[in-house]
Amino acid sequence: MSTSIIGLFESRDAARKAAGALTDAGCNEDAVEVLSGASIDRITNRLVEAGHDRDKARRYGEALQDGGALIVAEADEDRADDVLNAMRRFDVLTLQALQERNRANRPEETAKAQVIEEELEVGKAQTTGGKRLKTSVSEREVQETITLHEESVEVERNRIDRVLKPEEAAKAFQERTVEMTEIREKPVVSKQAHVVEEVVLAKHSGEREVTVSGTVRRQDVTIEDIERKSGSSSKE
């Protein structure tokens, strides 16, 4: 069976030196635990596991919050005395002694105020933008005026009372066709595409300087003397 051995020390360094001596005395290195800066609950639970009363274990945990270190070692019963003697070669403290040392080392009451000053930090962030060319097709009505040549054939009848000679009459009674051609122009519409403008996108890079302004705050501490007031008493 194993026996739990505990010891209180003024500092973590002192506890580590003692822990090294315990391993030399026969304790397994994994069986020696140094607790410093641990929470009250952790120290309490560890000491309860080692067989201590919970109320007393909690007092140990509360005392260690102000400083000091605790060694919890597990040793075989046949080596327990050697381990205990090895620990006693160091300055092992009682709970009351540790509490008194912590009270003595506790700083006097202090009060403080802070001077706080903001600084303006200016960085750079990239943003993307640009221009996009997009073509669209629209329609509109256009008018053009042109001059068209036009011919027309008109028929005109005139009443005539003239006597034909026999030879004229013989020629007159014949079948024949008389034609006259008329010419008219009509508009002919056709379309032809012309490039009238070209839009080009070109990217140019450069640098520019800008001045950034902002409001920063500062908290100062002013020291003032407090006037002392004295009480007066009257005697009858």
Query: From CA 26, how far away is CA 75, in angstroms rounded?
Result: 8
Residue 230 counted as domain residue:
no
Residue 198 counted as domain residue:
no
> In this model, does residue 173 exceed pLDDT 80?
no
Pick 169 or 204 by higher pLDDT. Answer: 204
Residue 219 counted as domain residue:
no
Please state the domain count of the chain: 1
Helix (H, G, I), strand (E, B) or coil at 116: strand
Name every residue whose Cβ is closer than 8 Å to that of residue 215 and which is 6 or more positions away in sequence: none
Residue 118 counted as domain residue:
no
> In this model, does residue 108 exceed pLDDT 70?
no
pLDDT at position 102:
85
Residue 168 counted as domain residue:
no
- Counting residues of the chain whose pLDDT is more than 70, the rounded percentage is 95
> Residue for token digits 């205990």?
84
| Structure tokens belonging to residue 202 | 């070109």
> In this model, does residue 232 exceed pLDDT 80?
no
Residue 150 contacts residue 181 (beta carbons within 8 Å): no
Q: Which of 87, 74, 93, 85 is nearest to 17 (CA)?
A: 87
pLDDT in tens, 4-44: 888 899 889 999 999 988 888 878 888 888 998 889 999 99
> In this model, does residue 233 exceed pLDDT 80?
no
Residue 7 counted as domain residue:
yes
> What sign has the CA pseudo-torsion 89, 5, 31, 13?
negative
The model's confidence at residue 62, banded by pLDDT at 50, 70 and 90, is very high
Average pLDDT estimate for 98-103? 87
Average pLDDT estimate for 207-214? 87
Q: Which domain holds residue 101?
A: 2-105
In order, the DSSP letters of 172-224 are HS----------B---------------------------------EE-----
pLDDT at position 109:
64
Q: Which of 69, 22, 17 is nearest to 43 (CA)?
A: 69
DSSP 93: B
pLDDT at position 114:
85
Average pLDDT estimate for 114-123? 82
Residue 89 counted as domain residue:
yes
Pick 138 or 168 by higher pLDDT. Answer: 138
pLDDT at position 41:
93
| Structure tokens belonging to residue 37 | 């800066």
Residue 23 counted as domain residue:
yes
- Counting residues of the chain whose pLDDT is more than 90, the rounded percentage is 11
| Structure tokens belonging to residue 231 | 């009480």
